[in-house]
C-alpha cells in the first residue's frame, strides 16, 4: 500500500471513530499536519540514533505526525520533539523501555528503541526498533498488558484501522 493510501485509511478510520463517540469523550480531532522537511526528517533520524523506517520517513514527508492517532495522543512527528510536554512523555517511556532487559521481552540484546507514539500517561506506546536483523520486526506496541511486534509501519496502521494484519505477540 502506498504511503498516501495508508494515510487516507488512517484518516478514514480515526474520523469514523471520532464521529461515533459521545461529545463528552476526550478524543482529539484526527488531523494531518504540514509535512516535515527533509532536513527535519534527517535531524529526527540522527536524534533517534537509528535509521527511520522507510514508510515512516515517507509518512513524515506527507504529514509531520498525526493528531488523534490513538485516542487523544498523536503519532509523533519531527516537531513534537521540540514540545517539552510531548517529548517528555516519549523520552521517559523510551528510557524506561531501554533500561529494561529487552531480551526478557523476546527482543535481541542490543536492540535500540525510539518512540513513535506514547499514551498520555506514559504507560504504553509504539516503539521503532533497530537491532540489525532485517528479518525481525521493526515496531513494538507495548504497555498495559500488550506486547505485539510488527514488521512495517503499514502493519501497525493496518492493525490499528481494523485491517487484516495480525501481529506477533511477545511474552
Task: Quote the CA–CA distance of 139 and 53 in Å, as a whole number.
Answer: 9
Q: What is the pLDDT of residues 12-33, one digit of tens each?
A: 776 777 667 766 666 667 788 8
Q: Does residue 144 or residue 83 have the better pLDDT?
A: 83
Task: Tell the burial category of 63 from Cβ atoms under 10 Å away from its Cβ (0-12, 13-18, 19+).
Answer: buried
Listed by start position, the domains of the chain span 3-169
pLDDT at 93 over 70: yes
> C-alpha cell of 8?
487516507
- Assigned CATH class of 3-169: alpha beta
Q: What is the pLDDT averaged over residues 27-46? A: 89
The confidence score (pLDDT) of residue 80 equals: 93
Q: What is the mean pLDDT of residues 148-166?
A: 84
Q: What is the mean pLDDT of the chain?
A: 83
The whole-number average pLDDT for the span 78-86 is: 87
33-42, 74-83, 156-165: which is most confident? 33-42
H helix intervals, 21-166: 38-48, 54-62, 84-99, 153-160
Render pLDDT for 101-119 as a digit per residue (tens, 0 to 9).
677 777 888 888 999 988 8
The three cell numbers of residue 35 are 509535512
In 3D, which of 158, 159, 106 has the Cα closest to residue 129?
Answer: 106
Nearest-CA neighbor of 47 among 156, 128, 106, 143?
128
* Residue 105: count of CB within 10 angstroms of its CB: 15
Question: Residue 144: left if φ>0, alpha if ψ -120 to 50, beta else—which one?
Answer: left
Mean pLDDT, to the nearest integer, of 48-67? 92
Q: Which residues contact 51 (CB under 8 A, 6 or more apart)?
A: 45, 130
The average pLDDT across 72-77 equals 83
Give Cα 45 distance to the centre of its chain: 14
| Dmax (CA) of the chain | 45
Q: In this predicted model, which residue has the larger pLDDT, 99 or 129?
A: 129
pTM: 0.82
Mean pLDDT of all residues in 131-152:
85
Amino acid at each position: 500500500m502506498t504511503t498516501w493510501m495508508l494515510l487516507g485509511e488512517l484518516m478514514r478510520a480515526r474520523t469514523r471513530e471520532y464521529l461515533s463517540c459521545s461529545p463528552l469523550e476526550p478524543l482529539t480531532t484526527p488531523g494531518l499536519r504540514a509535512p516535515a522537511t527533509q532536513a527535519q526528517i534527517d535531524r529526527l533520524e540522527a536524534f533517534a540514533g537509528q535509521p527511520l523506517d522507510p514508510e515512516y520517513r515517507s509518512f513524515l514527508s506527507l504529514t509531520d505526525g498525526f493528531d488523534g492517532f490513538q485516542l487523544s495522543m498523536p503519532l509523533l512527528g519531527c516537531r513534537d520533539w521540540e514540545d517539552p510536554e510531548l517529548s517528555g512523555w516519549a523520552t521517559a517511556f523510551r528510557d524506561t523501555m531501554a533500561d529494561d532487559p529487552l531480551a526478557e521481552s523476546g527482543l535481541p540484546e542490543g536492540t535500540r528503541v525510539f518512540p513513535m507514539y506514547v499514551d498520555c500517561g506514559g504507560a504504553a506506546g509504539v516503539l521503532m526498533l533497530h537491532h540489525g536483523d532485517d528479518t525481525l520486526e521493526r515496531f513494538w506496541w507495548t504497555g498495559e498488558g500488550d506486547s505485539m511486534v510488527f514488521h512495517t509501519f503499514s502493519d501497525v496502521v493496518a492493525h490499528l484501522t481494523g485491517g487484516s494484519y495480525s501481529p506477533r505477540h511477545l511474552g
